[in-house]
């Protein structure tokens, strides 16, 4: 296998080709003339061809030299672009932001966070990958995204979870629903009620199913949808009861078009956060984005006030 060409020798060769003189090339490169001569000789030995001809004080490229020069100039140009890109990354903190997010996070968290982020990093290339819980884990492990806004993945030792907020799932019904009028949910009525749930492949569906199974409540009468907005609209017209977090239906709860009721005596809480591969050092832009997500979610889910001593 042929050895890879030395970048320093290629840089010396292009300088010599440009200046046409060992003396002037050495001056440009801050080297001695003998160092330039040695580099060119070593390069000729490595490629197995004479690259330059000396005609008096002038240096002319051979046919092999002309061919190598075309490639060498491209290589050096790519190296310069690589260095410039790394310099930009170190000074701006981030040249790209690759984020995965659930449909819910895409709709309620990402827009405000990205609006603020773009003001701080206007030249950053942003890529968003929507998808469910399992898809986000695959994207993270495949290095297709750097961060994911999602529910806390249980038992995933190779991932780091940065908490954003905790919410609670509740029943959501229309104001005219019997549960709303009585302000209570009879346990025996849950199995008879049409429940409108988030799609079966979601992590939330799994949490809801496990919750009612532990409560000895059989979920047999339900429909599933992949849109929170569609779920809310169906419930508003009286088609059953949804299981949602109040922050997702904040506008509807404030307007009175939906009413929130607890699932039962035992609460069903979820932890939301930003996930990345363990051991990954976050760049400035990624750390900024996490901070912006914290700020945005504080307006959705106010943190409990600290208790003073």
For 47-59, b/e burial (b = at least 16 CB within 10 A) is beeebbeeeeeeb
Band of pLDDT at residue 148, cut at 50, 70 and 90: very high
CATH topology of domain 166-269: D-Maltodextrin-Binding Protein; domain 2 (3.40.190)
Are the C-beta atoms of 273 and 279 separated by less than 8 Å?
A: no
Asked if pLDDT for residue 179 goes beyond 60, the answer is yes
pLDDT band per the 50, 70, 90 thresholds, residue 307:
very low
CA distances from residue 243 to 19, 208, 217, 225, 250 in whole angstroms, order as listed: 75, 8, 14, 12, 14
Return the CA Rg of the chain: 31
What is the rounded distance in angstroms from the CA atom of residue 258 to the CA atom of residue 172?
A: 6
pLDDT given at position 90: 56
- What whole-number distance in Å separates Cα of residue 18 and Cα of residue 25? 8
Q: What does the alpha-carbon distance between residue 185 and residue 73 come to, in Å, rounded to a whole number? A: 75
Please give the class, per CATH, of domain 96-164+272-300: alpha beta
Digit-coded pLDDT (tens) for 106-117: 988 999 999 999
DSSP 154-215: TT-TTEEEEEEEEEEEEEEE-TTSHHHHHT---HHHHTTS-EEEE-TTSHHHHHHHHHHHHT
Same fold, 7-92 and 96-164+272-300: no
pLDDT tens digit sequence for 68-127: 999 988 988 888 777 766 665 555 555 789 999 988 899 889 999 999 999 888 888 899
How much is the pTM? 0.67
- 223 forms beta bridges with 196
Domain boundaries, the chain: 7-92, 96-164+272-300, 166-269
> What is residue 269's predicted lDDT score, i.e. its pLDDT?
94
Which among 201, 226, 211 is positioned nearest to 264, based on CA atoms?
211
Other beta carbons less than 10 A from residue 60's beta carbon: 12
Identify the architecture of domain 7-92 in CATH: Orthogonal Bundle (1.10)
């Amino acid at each position: 296998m042929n050895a890879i060409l030395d970048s320093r020798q290629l840089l010396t060769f292009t300088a010599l080709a440009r200046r046409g003189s060992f003396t002037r090339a050495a001056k440009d490169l801050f080297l001695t003339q003998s160092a330039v001569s040695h580099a060119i000789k070593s390069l000729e030995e490595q490629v197995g061809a004479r690259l330059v001809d000396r005609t008096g004080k002038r240096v002319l490229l051979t046919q092999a030299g002309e061919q190598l020069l075309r490639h060498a100039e491209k290589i050096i140009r790519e190296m310069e672009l690589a260095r410039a890109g790394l310099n930009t990354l170190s000074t701006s903190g981030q040249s790209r932001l690759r984020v995965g997010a659930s449909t819910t996070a895409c709709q309620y968290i990402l827009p405000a966070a990205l609006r603020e982020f773009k003001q701080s990093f206007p030249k950053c290339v942003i890529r968003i990958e929507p998808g469910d819980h399992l898809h986000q884990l695959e994207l993270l492990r495949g290095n297709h995204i750097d961060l994911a806004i999602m529910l806390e993945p249980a038992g995933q030792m190779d991932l780091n979870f940065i908490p954003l907020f905790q919410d609670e799932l509740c029943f959501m019904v229309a104001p005219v629903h019997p549960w709303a009028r009585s302000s209570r949910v009879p346990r025996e009525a849950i199995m008879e009620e049409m429940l409108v749930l988030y799609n079966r492949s979601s992590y939330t569906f799994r949490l809801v199913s496990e919750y009612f199974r532990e409560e000895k409540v059989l979920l047999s009468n339900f429909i599933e949808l992949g849109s929170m907005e569609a779920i809310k609209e169906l419930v508003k017209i009286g088609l059953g009861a949804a299981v949602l977090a109040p922050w997702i239906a904040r506008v509807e709860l404030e307007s009175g078009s939906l009413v929130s009721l607890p699932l039962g005596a035992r609460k069903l809480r979820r932890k939301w956060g930003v996930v990345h591969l363990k051991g990954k050092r976050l760049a400035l832009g990624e750390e900024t984005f996490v901070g912006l997500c914290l700020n945005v979610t504080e307006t959705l889910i106010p943190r409990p006030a600290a208790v003073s001593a």
